[in-house]
């Protein structure tokens, strides 16, 4: 009988054999294979250092249970599985001890929980899946004339990084689950899959959670209440602490629940001072707890404070923001779009950089950028034509974009900048020539500039007087013609 094993990575385990169980009375030999009668567990609560297990005096009874906190192990705990196997062939038909042997093996499989992510422990510190005894005869009955043999498996719960996402949601009480397979047979080789002997297997689950004793000290978060703002009377202002920094959450998206070991930060907004007391309200305390809102009607200055706490370090941190309320805001002035790019012709295959970072806004409003390739009249160009002739590479929504000239011709580009209320545009053209005719790329210090409603092209630029990047046929042969004469002179000097 071939054993069908679960195709997951083994994570830990070791095997020892001891005689602990009470033996069963002798029975007549009936030719039946061995079977597993019972599996009991002992635990030594850690955290123990890696290495040798603690003394047996530190072990107590343990009952694995995924719903009982006392039935869930922790990182670095040691476990002993006590397996009682029974083989009627330990005695012959006359009830006398027989020369029957039992071999034993165990495997441990990490269980992945879908759809929620769970930590996967690192490499095993013990070998599993091996027959024991590794050499010589197998195990016999604990007591001659009886049919029971007691075997044990020793396990060390490893450490891991992360936290089970189902546990974070309160759906389960553990981080990691293993399925442990115990197998016995009368032949050593059958435990690795031979077909001529019967193998009997039993399965047990082990559950473990992270140990708080092994977690590093949590750093204090740093609150960020955002920048001071000026608004018109009657405005609803969003108080934004989303830029709060916690070193333990580096690399984690605060809006993504599928993260490992990130601090759960609480945000508390409160009124500090102002012409009238307006307490913040939270639009979505669960989804975006760092946002709060206030509607302010009375002219004057308001101060609000946010206090952040990771509920681990015990050291909350605070920051304030000032909101100035005026009767009416002055009109918002439009930004100016400005493009800097190649002044002269470029050759096919060249990478062209168009730079709009010189664009500006009179009130220093934050700008957004959008690059668009257009035709000579400013109309749209089909995407397949863009792919064939002048392909965008990067930065279509950034101040600087890069493009690759694929086909000779003249190409036109629009830059649209937006300050949140007003839009400005600038146009730039690039002339591409075939690489075989030569050409050079220079940067134009005189940029294309446009304000709202205007459309600007290149301001020109001087033709580059440098030698062509790809020389013409005649000029490329001249160095080759003089090379032999130079070599002869060099040889003469060496002599």
Region 386-400: mean pLDDT is: 84
What local confidence, expressed as pLDDT, does residue 212 receive?
A: 78
Structural domain boundaries enclosing 298: 229-326
pLDDT 10s digits, 124-181: 545 556 678 877 788 888 888 888 999 988 888 888 877 777 887 778 899 889 888 8
Could you give the percent of the chain with pLDDT greater than 70? 72
* Domain stops at, among 326, 349, 373: 326
298/352 same-domain check: no
Region 322-332: mean pLDDT is: 91
59/166 same-domain check: yes
**Residue 13 clears pLDDT 80, i.e. is over it:** no
31/166 same-domain check: yes
How far is it, in rounded angstroms, from Cα 264 to Cα 284?
A: 16
Task: State the pLDDT confidence band at 1, using cuts at 50, 70 and 90.
Answer: very low
What local confidence, expressed as pLDDT, does residue 258 receive?
A: 52
22/146 same-domain check: yes
Q: What is the pTM (predicted TM-score) of this model?
A: 0.47
Place of tokens 């250092």: 49
Q: Write the DSSP symbol of residue 166.
A: H
Task: Write out the DSSP string of 76-138.
Answer: T-EEEEEEEEE-GGGB-TTS-B----BEEEEEEEEE--SSS--------SS--S--BSSSS--
CATH number of residue 135's parent domain: 2.70.50
Domain count, the chain: 3
- More confident of the two residues 370 and 265: 370
- More confident of the two residues 375 and 63: 63
252/358 same-domain check: no
205/110 same-domain check: yes
What local confidence, expressed as pLDDT, does residue 463 receive?
A: 33
pLDDT 10s digits, 444-491: 444 455 544 443 444 333 333 333 333 333 333 333 333 334 333 333
79/204 same-domain check: yes
What local confidence, expressed as pLDDT, does residue 471 receive?
A: 35
300/322 same-domain check: yes
Is position 152 within any domain? Answer: yes
319/389 same-domain check: no
**Residue 12 clears pLDDT 90, i.e. is over it:** no
**Residue 57 clears pLDDT 50, i.e. is over it:** yes
* Domain stops at, among 214, 237, 263: 214
- Tokens (6 digits) for 21: 């169980």
């Amino acid at each position: 009988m071939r054993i069908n094993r679960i195709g997951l990575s083994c994570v830990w385990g070791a095997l020892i054999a001891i005689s602990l169980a009470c033996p069963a009375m002798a029975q007549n030999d009936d030719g039946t294979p061995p079977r597993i009668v019972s599996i009991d567990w002992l635990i030594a609560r850690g955290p123990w250092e890696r290495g040798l297990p603690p003394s047996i005096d530190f072990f107590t009874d343990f009952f694995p249970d995924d719903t009982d906190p006392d039935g869930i192990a922790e990182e670095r705990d040691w476990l002993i599985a006590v397996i009682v196997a029974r083989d009627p062939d330990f005695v012959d038909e006359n009830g006398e001890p027989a020369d029957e042997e039992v071999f034993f093996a165990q495997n441990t499989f990490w269980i992945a929980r879908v759809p929620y992510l769970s930590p996967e422990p690192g490499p095993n510190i013990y070998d599993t899946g091996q027959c024991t005894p590794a050499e010589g005869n197998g195990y016999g009955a604990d007591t001659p004339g009886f049919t029971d043999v007691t075997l044990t498996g020793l396990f060390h719960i490893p450490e891991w990084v992360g936290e089970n996402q189902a546990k974070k949601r309160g759906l389960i009480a553990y981080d990691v689950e293993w399925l442990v397979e115990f197998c016995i047979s009368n032949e050593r080789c059958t435990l690795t899959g031979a077909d001529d002997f019967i193998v009997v297997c039993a399965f047990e689950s082990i559950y473990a959670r992270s140990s708080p004793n092994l977690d590093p000290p949590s750093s204090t978060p740093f609150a960020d209440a955002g920048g001071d703002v000026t608004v018109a009377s009657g405005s609803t202002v969003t108080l934004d602490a989303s830029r709060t920094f916690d070193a333990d959450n580096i690399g984690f998206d605060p809006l993504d629940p599928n993260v490992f070991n990130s601090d759960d930060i609480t945000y508390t907004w409160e009124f500090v001072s102002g012409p009238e007391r307006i307490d913040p309200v939270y639009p979505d305390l669960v989804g975006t707890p760092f946002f709060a809102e206030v509607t302010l009607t009375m002219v004057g200055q308001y101060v609000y404070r946010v206090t952040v706490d990771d509920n681990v370090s015990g050291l909350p941190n605070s920051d304030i923001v000032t909101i100035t309320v005026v009767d009416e805001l002055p009109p918002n002035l439009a930004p100016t779009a400005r493009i800097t790019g190649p002044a002269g012709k470029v050759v096919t295959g060249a990478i062209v950089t168009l730079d709009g970072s010189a664009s500006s806004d009179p009130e220093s409003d934050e700008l957004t950028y959008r690059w668009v390739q257009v035709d000579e009249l400013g109309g749209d160009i089909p995407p397949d034509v863009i792919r064939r002739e002048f392909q965008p590479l990067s930065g279509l929504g950034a101040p600087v974009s890069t493009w690759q000239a694929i086909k000779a011709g003249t190409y036109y580009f629009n830059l649209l900048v937006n300050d949140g209320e007003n839009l400005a545009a600038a146009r730039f053209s690039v002339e591409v020539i075939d690489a075989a005719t030569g050409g050079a790329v220079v940067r134009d210090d005189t940029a294309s500039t446009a304000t709202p409603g205007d459309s600007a092209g290149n301001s020109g630029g001087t033709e580059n007087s440098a030698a062509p990047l790809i020389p013409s046929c005649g000029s490329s042969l001249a160095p080759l013609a003089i090379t032999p004469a130079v070599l002869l002179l060099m040889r003469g000097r060496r002599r």
